[in-house]
Amino acid sequence: MSKNIFQKYSPLVLVLAVILLFGNCGSEAEPEPEVKCTPDMYETNNSIESSYELAAIEEDSVSFTATISTDGDVDFYSIETIEGTHMGIPSSPQYFKVIFRLENPTNLDYDLFIYSADGALYDQSENRGDMDESIEVTWQGTLGFNDDNMFSIEVKPHTGNWSCDDYTLSVAMYYSDSPW
């Protein structure tokens, strides 16, 4: 006559078999390993006061990559836009345009803020998702006078967005002798 499983094996062996078979059901999952990014060369640029000073541009453009490398990281840069040499009637109007462009990493949402030299918010771009951000700043100058300008740039992740993947920031300055 055959014995049923409970008679054949002791209860302790059955408990061990169930644990081995089903694992630690109900226990907490192992935490995800913390992602560590190497800070980019512009750190510690986490405030307008500690912004990384980019090389001045004279009616030219600059483009570079950087990262939002930790939760809570923001990046600030400052840049001087320098008027080139122009021929014309002294004191006649001249026009300048600077385009700031932020290309987000895939599937990440970073926003772009531009501040004037005195730290006042000039404009912001907060598109949804990983759409690129762009801000255009224009001003009228006067031939024969200094029409240089200084800007601060903030790249800020939308809540909880950060990655070791690079974003690309571009700044381009243009001149015209007629209004835009």
Position 36 scores a pLDDT of 81
Position 94 scores a pLDDT of 95
Show the domains of the chain with their CATH numbers.
52-176 (2.60.120.380)
d(CA 150, CA 79): 6
Position 33 scores a pLDDT of 60
Q: What is the pTM of this model?
A: 0.79
Position 160 scores a pLDDT of 79
Residue 112's contacts (CB-CB under 8 Å, 6 or more residues apart) are 100, 102, 124, 125, 126, 133, 134, 135, 153, 154, 155, 156
Position 31 scores a pLDDT of 58
Q: What is the mean pLDDT of each run of 10 residues along the chain (180 residues)?
A: 58 56 55 75 96 96 95 96 91 97 96 97 95 97 95 93 94 94
